[in-house]
Amino acid sequence: MSNKMWGGRFDSGPDAIMEDINASIEFDKALWRQDIAGSRAHVAMLAKQGIIEAKDAATISKGLENIATEIESGQFTFSRALEDIHMNIESRLAETIGAAAGRLHTARSRNDQVATDMRLWVRDTLDLLDGQAAALQSALAEKALAFAGAVMPGFTHLQSAQPVTFGHHLLAYVEMLGRDRGRIADARKRMNENPLGAAALAGTSFPIDRFMTAAALGFDRPTANSLDSVSDRDFALEALAAASISAMHLSRFAEEIVIWTTPQFGLVALSDKFTTGSSIMPQKRNPDAAELVRAKSGRIIGALTGLLIVMKGLPLTYAKDMQEDKEGTFDALQSLSLCLAAMTGMVKDMTPDLKAMKKAAGSGYATATDLADWLVKNLKMPFRDAHHVTGRIVGLAEARKVGLEKLSLAELQSVEPRITDAIFDVLGVEKSVRSRVSYGGTAPVNVRAQARRWLAKLKREARKNPS
Site residues for ligand ARG per CB under 6 A: 24, 28, 84, 110-111, 114, 318, 320, 322-323
> In the bound complex, what is the minimum distance in angstroms from residue 112's beta carbon to ligand ARG?
9
Q: Name the residue nearer to ligand ARG (CB basis): 71 or 171.
A: 71
Q: Name the residue nearer to ligand ARG (CB basis): 319 or 456.
A: 319
d(CA 423, CA 455) in angstroms, rounded, equals 37
> SS3 of 222, please?
strand
Q: Name the residue nearer to ligand ARG (CB basis): 84 or 193.
A: 84
> In the bound complex, what is the minimum distance in angstroms from residue 439's beta carbon to ligand ARG?
50
d(CA 38, CA 36) in angstroms, rounded, equals 5
Q: Which of 2, 79, 271, 278 is catalytic?
A: 278
> In the bound complex, what is the minimum distance in angstroms from residue 217's beta carbon to ligand ARG?
18
DSSP at 286? B
> In the bound complex, what is the minimum distance in angstroms from residue 6's beta carbon to ligand ARG?
9
d(CA 28, CA 86) in angstroms, rounded, equals 9
Outline where 147-260 has alpha helix (H): 166-191, 210-216, 226-231, 234-260
Q: Name the residue nearer to ligand ARG (CB basis): 204 or 323.
A: 323
d(CA 343, CA 296) in angstroms, rounded, equals 12
d(CA 300, CA 334) in angstroms, rounded, equals 9
Annotated active-site residue 278? The verdict is: yes
End-to-end Cα spacing for the chain: 48
Q: Give Cβ neighbours of residue 77 (< 8 Å, ≥ 6 apart).
A: none
Annotated active-site residue 91? The verdict is: no
> In the bound complex, what is the minimum distance in angstroms from residue 80's beta carbon to ligand ARG?
12
> In the bound complex, what is the minimum distance in angstroms from residue 110's beta carbon to ligand ARG?
4
Q: Which of 73, 157, 279, 438 is catalytic?
A: 157
Q: Name the residue nearer to ligand ARG (CB basis): 84 or 238.
A: 84
Max alpha carbon distance in the chain (Å)? 101
Q: Name the residue nearer to ligand ARG (CB basis): 114 or 339.
A: 114
d(CA 367, CA 126) in angstroms, rounded, equals 44
Q: Name the residue nearer to ligand ARG (CB basis): 61 or 323.
A: 323
Question: Which helix H or strand E contains 436, and what residues bound it?
Answer: none
DSSP at 315? P
d(CA 3, CA 212) in angstroms, rounded, equals 32
Q: Give Cβ neighbours of residue 211 (< 8 Å, ≥ 6 apart).
A: 221, 222
With 0-12 / 13-18 / 19 or more C-beta atoms within 10 angstroms meaning exposed / middle / buried, residue 448 is middle
> In the bound complex, what is the minimum distance in angstroms from residue 230's beta carbon to ligand ARG?
9
Is residue 168 within 8 A of residue 442, CB to CB? The reply is: yes
Question: What amino acid positions are annotated as catalytic residues?
Answer: 157, 278
